[in-house]
Structure 1
């Protein structure tokens, strides 16, 4: 058990370089420091990590089934797989997927998918229904639309959660981030109830962390 009620089981705070920082237990992936079996979760490289560090109410307890959109080479999704249940990792670009496959070799619950998060029908036959969590970190225009299209995978009993990091500059490089975020949230509310939002600028410029559940 960790001593922080806001953190899921399997995520702890360990001392690295004299500071208490987030950590999960698992094989190293990106050269992160370790403390025994625990490895540093670098929140400067992880939007979900930043959401946890900032105390957002993600609803994560540990052991959840997860669809991760925008997995890249596996930095954050490797930490997710350390504490979650079945974790489906969607990434569009072939080169980072090669690294992601290597990460999955050490994690039997991590399933890499070379797919486009904007086209969930292409992986609907692989990903199980009624998942607990969709994590979204997709730096592309139409981020709210991506969340709406993947809403189909979330459990519909009010307990399913979308944990998204919206990047303003991916939507519009000319508009103020506040304006972009307002538009995205308005669109998101077509299919989700937004429970919490927090700016992630302390760790990630012009990003908004969002916790929502499907309507």
Structure 2
């Protein structure tokens, strides 16, 4: 697997893992200036570990939906260009703001990913849309935020089956969500994020 510029493999306590260069955020192991990107705590990290073709090259502009406390988006900001991090809940945003202190092109936004009109005046066109939101209607969120993607941009989404329907079989949920996504995106690749995340599907797509 070819990794994007700014992501390397390093040894941490006898185990080789993905790493980005930046200040620690969530107590992750470090190797000098490099810090472990834990795929068990990051859906995008899991997509990379599983060899999915994310199309990341290390210099893209990113809109990250569902940034939470900054675990994954801080790694993204370590290697990417301007990174807009949308988070709805005030409590994790405080930790996200702390992660952004050492990253001058990480821009936290206290906004709702289901209402992109509230941040459309701030976010420039982006090369990559990363979606990791725990809400019903994940395909609709991706459709609403498609407006920010450049023509040849990429959607990297982690679909959470339990957020859509806690009673339905995950495979059925994934089938429905991907079918809805297909109205707005060309699906390039899908893969279950097992063993790192149960009942999650990684999706790589580009806007139609």
What TM-score bracket applies, with the shorter chain setting the length? over 0.9
Q: RMSD in angstroms over aligned alpha carbons?
A: 0.6
TM-score normalized by the length of structure 1: 0.96
Q: Where does structure 1 lack aligned partners over 5 or more consecutive residues?
A: none
Distance in 2, matches of 1:162 and 1:92, equals 20
Provide the secondary structure at the position in 1 that maps to 2:136: coil
Q: Which among 90, 94, 101 is matched to residue 94 of structure 1?
A: 90
Distance in 2, matches of 1:21 and 1:79, equals 13
The aligned residue for residue 127 of structure 1 is: 123
Residue 32 in structure 1 maps to residue 28 in structure 2: yes
Q: Which among 54, 73, 95 is matched to residue 58 of structure 1?
A: 54
| Shift in Å, 1:19 | 1.5
The aligned residue for residue 173 of structure 1 is: 166
Provide the secondary structure at the position in 2 that maps to 1:44: coil
| Shift in Å, 1:113 | 0.1
Q: Which among 101, 107, 111 is matched to residue 111 of structure 1?
A: 107
- Cα deviation code 1:106-157 (max 9, x no counterpart): 100100000000000000000002x10000000100000000000000001x
The aligned residue for residue 147 of structure 1 is: 142
Q: Which among 179, 190, 198 is matched to residue 186 of structure 1?
A: 179
Structure with more of its chain in strand, by fraction = 2
Question: Between Structure 1 and Structure 2, how many residues are aligned?
Answer: 208
Distance in 2, matches of 1:183 and 1:201, equals 19
Provide the secondary structure at the position in 2 that maps to 1:211: strand
| Shift in Å, 1:176 | 0.4
Distance in 2, matches of 1:89 and 1:183, equals 27
Distance in 1, matches of 2:27 and 2:184, equals 39
Q: Where does structure 2 lack aligned partners over 5 or more consecutive residues?
A: none
- Cα deviation code 1:84-105 (max 9, x no counterpart): 0000000000010111111111
Distance in 2, matches of 1:177 and 1:56, equals 20
The aligned residue for residue 161 of structure 1 is: 154
The aligned residue for residue 73 of structure 2 is: 77
Provide the secondary structure at the position in 2 that maps to 1:45: coil
Distance in 2, matches of 1:10 and 1:182, equals 34
Residue 68 in structure 1 maps to residue 64 in structure 2: yes
TM-score normalized by the length of structure 2: 0.99
Residue 209 in structure 1 maps to residue 202 in structure 2: yes
- Cα deviation code 1:153-193 (max 9, x no counterpart): 0001xx20000000000000111000000000010011000
